[in-house]
């Protein structure tokens, strides 16, 4: 018997066992597909809640998109480290790269201090985030097929990887982002280079004429990189340039990339043109040039002909017999200059580059699990509900950039500083639906509501970044209220089912941040409104409160006024815009807010001194709510420590034994210390 036979049998047996184990179906409650920023953000929330989850990533590390993109290696997401404030929640308004966690030190500034950071810093930050939070990520798992199955226990999703191994989960969270290049099919599109594969060395474009298809940030990023070497750069798209500082949409052209606008407007060879890409044609012509030949040649070969390839842009209507001849070559009659002698793009180009953005990868889903194409964004995104669940795929949620169809060209949901909050909203929906954990809320006395609203308006980062998409919902319940933070406002008709909170007969208030809807000159003299009596005319970001006596219906949501995030309410209040984005001025902000809240709750919300409460108690059957919840329960706010100690020593403050008999409601903690605001409305209205 061959002595090597036992070893061979053992080797085969081990291989068979390993192969068999690879094909075992692994079961999880939650599968997160993709270890980019949105996938790791959801992983943190699932880990914190101690749920059964796995994050599957096809590459060897997190954030693989940022190893290649943006191609010219500079992010345009703000990394403002120095704000003059120590409030971490406020600082997230100006930190567009960090993910949310309970670790105050786990911020992007650990890896870069640059205002516009290098792209290579982001995978490094994501690696720190994953490792320091101990997230469960499995790398090297390339999911090639996703299908849905139905059983007695409900719907589930099965993900199959490159080794034919299956992962089965009750809830699938798709966080793959957008990485498939967006392309437009037209005659000659095979002659076009893609943003994903072009050279990023400016020297490769020396003295070349370049046409760029697209006018987004990737197109302008490319133009800005080569404009110092190229002979001319032209940019073409179906729509004019949209500037982010005019539209307030961070996906539009950012100032950091717009240097070509100078050379266009100051007439230095570069330019912008609008045309339908589907109607254009790219053709090439071989043109003869002459150059001297070197060495000892005969007289007949002194001049040598060289053919140079040039690309021309023309229109579909000028192309003759497209199907009968080679379309990559064109006659003079097929060029636009033959028909329009001053055609703007009549000169040839050396290169044509496509920079049209990216689309969602639908190809891995079979028909049972594939979310529909969105109605907006040219169908390149999956269509999702207001709570980011696939419209025809229950239990499949879309996270991150891919979920941007909900607020495309409206808010920041397609970017890290926006979708870190929508990921948290999705997790809260999951906790309520599958684990019976209601959306976290804060119980407040009604007299504390104004201070809490001012606190949120002044520091909250979620509604600030996801303006008009995420809002705070205040459930009015008479003498107290419940404050629910960062709810998707377009899902308001389903509020009770999604949040686990019921709306009482007193109604609700929704606080959102909004820009004005009027188109103005945002650098003009009258661009801002400072008169609080005309707060509804505010143009820049400002808080808006909607009061409803009952939840809006789905039909009312569909029929809401154009441009409004919510249906028309029973009462509406705009807090006038503020240059410092600090809504704490006594006359312009606090007093109008108090009067609006009084209208909603139908009670006096003024703050009173003890003497005034004493007079009210003696002269009225029902003193103001502030006196009922404070003075009449032997409670008050003393800001000075020595005065508080003096009052306590004098027996004027309730003891722990008195707390149970004083009528105080122990379920309401003292939130005013956290608000950083006084009990007072800011006015000494001692009437």
Please report the pLDDT score of residue 431 as a whole number.
98
Give the pLDDT score at 646: 67
Q: What is the mean pLDDT of residues 305-314?
A: 78
Q: Are 227 and 263 in contact (CB under 8 A)?
A: yes
Decide which of 332 and 572 is more confident: 572
pLDDT in tens, 279-308: 999 998 866 554 444 445 444 444 445 567
390 beta partners: 384, 393
What pLDDT digit, counting tens, does each position of 248-257 carry? 999 999 999 9
Percent of the chain at pLDDT above 70? 85
Model confidence at 6: pLDDT above 80: no
Q: Is 444 helix (H, G, I), strand (E, B) or coil?
A: strand
- How many CA atoms within 13 Å lie on the side-chain side of 12? 6
Which range has the worst mean pLDDT, 13-17, 175-179, 265-269, 422-426? Answer: 13-17
Q: What is the mean pLDDT of residues 354-358?
A: 97
User: pLDDT confidence of 612, banded at 50, 70, 90?
Assistant: confident
pLDDT in the model for residue 11: 46
Q: Is the pLDDT of residue 656 over 70?
A: no
Lowest mean pLDDT among 57-66, 90-99, 303-312, 439-448: 303-312
What's the mean pLDDT in 462-472?
Answer: 98
Q: Is the pLDDT of residue 674 over 70?
A: no
Compute the average pLDDT of residues 396-415.
97
pLDDT of 654 strictly over 70: no
Sequence-distant (≥ 6) Cβ neighbours of residue 538 within 8 angstroms: 516, 528, 529, 574, 576, 577
Q: How confident is the model at residue 620 (pLDDT cuts 50, 70, 90)?
A: confident
Q: Stretch 205-210: mean pLDDT, rounded? A: 98
pLDDT tens digit sequence for 505-543: 999 999 999 999 998 898 999 999 999 999 999 999 999
Q: Which of 393, 403, 371 is nearest to 175 (CA)?
A: 403
Q: What is the pTM of this model?
A: 0.87
For residue 329, pLDDT over 60 is answered with yes
Report residue 332's pLDDT band, with 50, 70 and 90 as the boundaries. confident
pLDDT (average), residues 442-460: 97
**Looking up tokens 């793009």, which residue turns up?**
345
**pLDDT greater than 90 at residue 649:** no
Q: What is the residue whose two structure tokens read 């980019």?
A: 36
Q: Report the share of the chain in percent with pLDDT over 90.
A: 75
pLDDT at 608: 87
pLDDT classification of 615: cutoffs 50, 70, 90: confident
pLDDT on residue 319:
85
Q: Which residue has the higher pLDDT, 678 or 582?
A: 582
Structure tokens at 50: 């101690």
pLDDT at 629: 87
Please report, for residues 201, 435, 499, 526, 527, the alpha-carbon distance to residue 475 in angstroms, rounded to integers and kept in the order given: 58, 23, 12, 37, 35
Q: What is the pLDDT of residue 330?
A: 80
Average pLDDT, the chain: 88
For residues 563-580, average pLDDT:
97
- C-alpha to C-alpha distance for 294 and 289, rounded to whole angstroms: 16
The secondary structure of the chain in percent helix, strand, coil, rounded to multiples of 5, reads: 30, 20, 45
- HSE-up (13 A, CA, CB side) for residue 238: 8
Confidence of residue 39 (pLDDT cuts 50, 70, 90): very high
Q: Are 530 and 471 in contact, with CB atoms under 8 Å apart?
A: no
pLDDT recorded at residue 323: 60
Q: How confident is the model at residue 658 (pLDDT cuts 50, 70, 90)?
A: very low
Q: What is the pLDDT of residue 288?
A: 56
pLDDT of residue 333: 87
Q: What is the pLDDT of residue 13?
A: 45
pLDDT value, residue 38:
98
């Amino acid at each position: 018997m061959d002595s090597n036979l036992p070893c061979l049998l053992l080797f085969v047996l081990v291989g068979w066992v390993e192969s068999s184990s690879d094909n075992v179906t692994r079961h999880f409650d939650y599968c997160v597909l993709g270890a980019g920023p949105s996938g790791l953000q959801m992983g943190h929330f699932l880990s914190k809640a101690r749920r059964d989850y796995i994050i599957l990533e096809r590459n060897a590390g997190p954030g693989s998109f940022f190893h290649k993109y943006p191609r010219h290696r500079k992010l345009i997401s703000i990394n403002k480290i120095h704000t003059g404030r120590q409030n971490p929640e406020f600082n997230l308004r100006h930190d567009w790269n960090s993910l949310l966690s309970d670790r105050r030190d786990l911020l992007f500034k650990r890896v870069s201090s640059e205002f516009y950071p290098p792209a290579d810093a982001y995978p490094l930050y994501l690696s720190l985030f994953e490792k320091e939070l101990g997230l469960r990520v499995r790398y090297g798992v390339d999911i090639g097929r996703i299908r849905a199955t139905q059983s007695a226990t409900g719907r589930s999703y099965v993900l199959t990887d490159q080794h034919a191994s299956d992962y089965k989960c009750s809830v699938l969270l798709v966080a793959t982002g957008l990485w498939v290049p967006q392309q437009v099919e037209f005659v000659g599109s095979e002659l076009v280079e893609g943003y994903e594969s072009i050279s990023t060395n400016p020297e490769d474009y020396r003295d070349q004429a370049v046409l760029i298809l697209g006018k987004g940030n990737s197109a302008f990023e490319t133009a800005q990189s080569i404009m110092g070497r190229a002979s001319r750069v032209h940019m073409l798209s179906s729509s004019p340039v949209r500037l982010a500082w005019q539209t307030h949409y961070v996906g539009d052209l950012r100032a950091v990339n717009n240097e070509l606008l100078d050379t266009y407007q100051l007439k230095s060879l570069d330019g912008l043109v609008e045309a339908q890409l589907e109607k254009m044609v790219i053709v090439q012509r071989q043109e003869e040039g002459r150059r001297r030949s070197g060495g000892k040649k005969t007289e007949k070969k002194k001049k040598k002909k060289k053919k140079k390839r040039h690309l021309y842009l023309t229109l579909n209507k000028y192309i003759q017999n497209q199907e009968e001849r080679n379309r990559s070559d064109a006659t003079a009659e097929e060029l636009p200059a033959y028909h329009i002698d001053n055609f703007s793009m009549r000169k040839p180009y050396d290169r044509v580059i496509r920079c049209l953005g990216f689309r969602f990868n639908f190809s891995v889903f079979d028909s049972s699990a594939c979310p529909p194409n969105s109605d907006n964004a040219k169908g390149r995104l999956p269509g999702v509900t207001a709570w980011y669940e696939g419209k025809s795929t229950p239990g499949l949620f879309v996270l991150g950039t891919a979920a941007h169809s909900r607020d495309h060209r409206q808010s920041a949901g397609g970017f890290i500083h926006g979708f870190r909050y929508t990921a948290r909203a999705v997790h809260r929906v999951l906790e309520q639906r599958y684990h019976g954990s209601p959306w976290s809320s804060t119980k407040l006395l009604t007299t504390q509501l104004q201070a809490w609203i001012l606190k949120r308006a002044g520091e909250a980062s979620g509604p600030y970044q996801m303006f008009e998409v995420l809002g705070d919902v205040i459930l009015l319940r008479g003498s107290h209220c419940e404050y629910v933070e960062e709810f998707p406002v377009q899902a308001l008709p389903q509020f009770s089912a999604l949040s686990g909170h019921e709306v009482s007969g007193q109604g609700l208030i929704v606080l959102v941040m909004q820009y004005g809807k009027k188109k103005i000159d945002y650098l003009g003299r009258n661009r801002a409104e400072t008169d609080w009596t005309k707060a509804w005319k505010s143009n820049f970001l400002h808080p808006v409160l909607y009061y409803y006596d009952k939840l809006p219906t789905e039909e009312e949501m569909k029929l809401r006024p154009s441009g409004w995030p919510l249906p028309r309410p029973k009462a509406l209040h705009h807090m006038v815009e503020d240059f410092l984005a600090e809504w704490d001025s006594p006359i312009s902000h606090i007093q109008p807010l108090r009067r609006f809240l009084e209208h909603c709750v139908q009670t006096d919300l003024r703050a009173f001194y003890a003497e005034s409460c004493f007079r009210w108690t003696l002269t009225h059957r029902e003193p103001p709510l502030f006196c009922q919840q404070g003075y009449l329960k032997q409670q008050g706010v003393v800001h000075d420590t020595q005065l508080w100690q003096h009052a306590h020593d004098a027996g004027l403050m309730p003891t722990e034994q008195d707390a149970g008999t004083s009528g105080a409601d122990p379920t309401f903690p003292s939130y005013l210390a956290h608000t950083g605001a006084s009990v007072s409305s800011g006015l000494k209205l001692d009437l």
